[in-house]
Amino acid sequence: MKEPLQGFCGVLSPEQYAVLRGHGTERPFTSALNGEKRTGTFHCADCGQALFESRTKFESGSGWPSFWSPIAEAVGTSEDFSHGMHRIEVHCGKCQGHLGHVFPDGPAPTGLRYCINGLALTFTPAQA
């Protein structure tokens, strides 16, 4: 069994650490959160910051949970020139953990696709 690793705010699995702290990417179509359809909130798996509301989630076909907008001021962005391309990286606004990337090919009303690693997220269903 792999030992948990210390994240910014808590203990992370080695896979979560590789994504959030090592700027890794999980394999597409491997996250259970990709198919999550309940009403609720997606949080940073490290610090617990609320990042995305379920009403902004959509099926992009990319294999990762995708959202058209984050919660106001919940995430930050920076330029990413890794892998020989220019992308915009998305990170948690509180702990700076790597979440994924944002692309200009999403649905209305923003036209953006926040393509987020499921390992970087936890989900809290809304109270009934």
Task: Quote the CA–CA distance of 55 and 18 in Å, as a whole number.
Answer: 28
Q: Token pair of 1, please?
A: 């069994």
Active site residues: 115
> 43-68: b or e for each residue (b if 16 or more CB lie within 10 Å)?
bbbbbebebbbbebbeebeeebbbbb
